[in-house]
Amino acid sequence: MSSSAEKFEKERERLNKIALKYADVKIKRYFSLDSQSYRDEGALPKKIKELLGLVASSVLRCDDCIKYHLTECFKQKVTDKELEEALSIAMVVGGSITIPHIRRAFEFWDNIKKQED
For the chain, the three-class secondary structure string (H helix, E strand, C coil) is CCHHHHHHHHHHHHHHHHHHHHCCHHHHHHHHHHHHHCCCCCCCCHHHHHHHHHHHHHHHCCHHHHHHHHHHHHHCCCCHHHHHHHHHHHHHHHCHHHHHHHHHHHHHHHHHHHHHC
* Domain extent at residue 59: 3-116
Q: How confident is the model at residue 117 (pLDDT cuts 50, 70, 90)?
A: low
Q: How confident is the model at residue 21 (pLDDT cuts 50, 70, 90)?
A: very high
For residue 5, the model assigns a pLDDT of 86
Mean pLDDT of 50-65: 98
- The domain total for the chain is 1
**Tell me: the pLDDT tens digits for 82-100?**
999 999 999 999 999 999 9
Q: Over the chain, what is the mean pLDDT?
A: 95
Which CATH number characterizes residue 46's domain?
A: 1.20.1290.10
For residue 4, the model assigns a pLDDT of 83
Percent of the chain past pLDDT 70, that is, above it, reads: 97
Mean pLDDT of 52-62: 98
